[in-house]
Amino acid sequence: MKIKTYVADNIQEAFYKVKTDLGKDAVILKTKHIKKGGFLGLFAKRMVEVVAANDIKPNLDLPTKPDFSKLPPISKPKETESIAEIKDIKTDIEQVKDLLNKLYLDKTQQDNAPAVDMPSLLKKYYDRMCEMEILPEIINTLIDNTKNSISDTDLNNKTLLYNTLKKEIISFIDEVEPISLSDKNNVVAFVGPTGVGKTTTIAKLAAHFVLYKNKKVAMITADTFRVGAIEQLKHYGDLLEVPVHVVYRPEDVKEILTELKDYDLLLVDTMGFSPNNRIQIKKVKNLLDILNPDDIYVVVSAATKNQDMVDILNNYKELQYKKIIVTKLDETKSYGIILNAINISGCKLSYLTTGQNVPDDIEVASGDKIADLILGEVKDV
Ligand SMILES: Nc1nc2c(ncn2[C@@H]2O[C@H](COP(=O)(O)OP(=O)(O)O)[C@@H](O)[C@H]2O)c(=O)[nH]1
Ligand SMILES: [Mg+2]
């Protein structure tokens, strides 16, 4: 008697191999699914293993021999097998993502480990900036530039060190760019995930330009998606006596813009969506293409985790935002997110918002103030 093991992509192919090799009287002893190949247990292929024998004595108590003549022709794996394979691949991809994330974090931590010879006061500021959750590469640049611009002795002088680091942070933040009106009809659009405070920020800005700058302002909303979004903006519009127009279809844009052509500033609210929602990104992109705004502001919340901020700012880049607004600064003490947002987006900062009150809780971002918040009160050593 000959017993042999066969491995194939699917059961039909395995039986075909048995039949060709051991002849039509071969008997199947065992079948099972196995995983083959891959790397570190990942991407392994799902296959079938069949153990078969020939020349089996008729009195042996073995499983019934399959009738090979009735076997279907070799075909693609059944639907259920494909689904199982897709599930396996998805699990593998998740594992690879976790692995890569871990490797990236380990590598970043190694690359950005503080220099051992860092003077103790500088090390205190280094630790403070880590607590602020500033990205390691930004901290390193700030520390290196500071070390290069003052003498080793001055690194232990608290006032000098504070002022030098502060100057570095201010220069990292660079110019801030709030809305600046040209004499024509200015159209400014706001994009960002749901709930970050786009509509509230638009209401604050509308109030600012109406009350303090005496401008003719109108608000336009394209957020017909979220329940209550139109009413929310209309409520602010009524309070400020500012007209609110709703874009239900992209075709509405032209008519609305013509109607509002005598206004100084049109603030356009858009629907929020997850940064991974490609369909919604395309919809907003389509609207912005028709609207052709003078400026696009991306709105992000200071209470966002760093990794989520990376996803948001990267995936929203398709919308070609030019400036950043950071909201909800009152909800966090990790001010580093402001520097991270500038770094990831490559854009200038404009406004910070610090609470729910319309119109008060908004200010033009100030490098000086942000640097003070970041450096805080570091105790003397
Ligand atoms: N704490 C705090 N809450 C804010 C701020 N800005 C907006 N909010 C609140 O965040 C929630 C969502 O705001 P909304 O403007 O509707 O967000 P949108 O979905 O991006 O338009 C509301 O409850 C706002 O009052 C802020 O600066 N700080
Ligand atoms: Mg909104």
Q: Which residues of the chain have pLDDT under 70?
A: 38-43, 56-81, 94, 97-99, 101-117, 379-381
191 and 80 together in one domain: no
**Ligand 1 lined by 353 (C-beta under 6 Å):** yes
Find all residues with CB under 8 Å of 238, minimum gap 6, and list them: none
240 and 361 together in one domain: yes
Helix (H) or strand (E) holding 225: none
User: Has residue 320 been placed in a domain?
Assistant: yes
Residue with tokens 């991974």: 276
65 and 194 together in one domain: no
First to last CA, the chain: 84
Tokens of 367: 């490098």
- Ligand 1 center–CA 185 separation, angstroms: 27
Which region, left, alpha or beta, applies to residue 193 given φ > 0 means left and ψ of -120 to 50 means alpha? Answer: beta
Output the furthest CA–CA distance in the chain (Å, rounded): 103
59 and 198 together in one domain: no
Long-range (24+ apart) CB contacts under 8 A made by 247-253 are: 247/220, 247/221, 247/222, 247/287, 248/224, 250/286, 250/287, 250/290, 253/287, 253/290, 253/291
Interhelix angle 79-111/136-149, nearest 10 degrees: 20
Q: Per this entry, what is the length of the chain?
A: 381
211 and 79 together in one domain: no
User: Has residue 176 been placed in a domain?
Assistant: no
User: Has residue 162 been placed in a domain?
Assistant: no
82 and 195 together in one domain: no
**Ligand 1 lined by 194 (C-beta under 6 Å):** yes
**Ligand 1 lined by 196 (C-beta under 6 Å):** yes
Omega prior to 66 cis, within 30 of 0: no
Partners of 5 in the β-ladder: 51
C-alpha–C-alpha distance, residues 72 and 128, integer Å: 70
Parent domain of 33: 2-87
198 and 347 together in one domain: yes
User: Has residue 350 been placed in a domain?
Assistant: yes
The one-letter amino acid code at 268 reads V
CATH label of the domain that carries residue 190: 3.40.50.300
Q: Rounded to two decimals, what is the model's pTM?
A: 0.73
Last residue of a domain, one of 87, 115, 149: 87
User: Has residue 293 been placed in a domain?
Assistant: yes
Q: What is the DSSP letter of 9?
A: S
- Ligand 2 center–CA 130 separation, angstroms: 33
pLDDT of residue 112: 59
Residue nearest (by alpha carbon) to ligand 1 atom 4:
356
**Ligand 1 lined by 195 (C-beta under 6 Å):** yes
Find all residues with CB under 8 Å of 50, minimum gap 6, and list them: 5, 6, 7, 8, 11, 14, 15, 17, 18, 28, 30, 31
Last residue of a domain, one of 53, 87, 121: 87
> What is the total count of domains within the chain?
2
C-alpha–C-alpha distance, residues 324 and 174, integer Å: 13
- Ligand 2 center–CA 298 separation, angstroms: 13
Chain segment 191-228, per-residue pLDDT in tens:
999 999 999 999 999 999 999 999 999 999 999 878 79
User: Has residue 148 been placed in a domain?
Assistant: no
Nearest CA to 375 among 140, 163, 151? 163
Residue 34 CA, distance from chain mean position: 37
Specify the ligand 1 atom closest to the Cα of 223: 21
User: Has residue 377 been placed in a domain?
Assistant: no
C-alpha–C-alpha distance, residues 314 and 321, integer Å: 11
User: Has residue 265 been placed in a domain?
Assistant: yes
> Using an 8 Å Cβ cutoff, are 137 and 341 in contact?
no
pLDDT of residue 93: 74
- Ligand 1 center–CA 233 separation, angstroms: 12
C-alpha–C-alpha distance, residues 66 and 73, integer Å: 15
For the chain, the C-alpha Rg in angstroms (whole number) is: 32
According to DSSP H, which parts of the chain are helical?
11-22, 79-111, 120-131, 136-149, 158-173, 198-207, 229-240, 252-259, 278-291, 306-315, 336-345, 367-375
pLDDT of residue 103: 65
**Ligand 1 lined by 193 (C-beta under 6 Å):** no
Specify the ligand 1 atom closest to the Cα of 269: 21
Partners of 351 in the β-ladder: 325, 364
Last residue of a domain, one of 87, 112, 146: 87
By DSSP bridging, strand 295-301 and strand 45-54 are: unpaired
Q: What is the DSSP letter of 3?
A: E
By DSSP bridging, strand 295-301 and strand 186-191 are: parallel
**Ligand 1 lined by 331 (C-beta under 6 Å):** yes
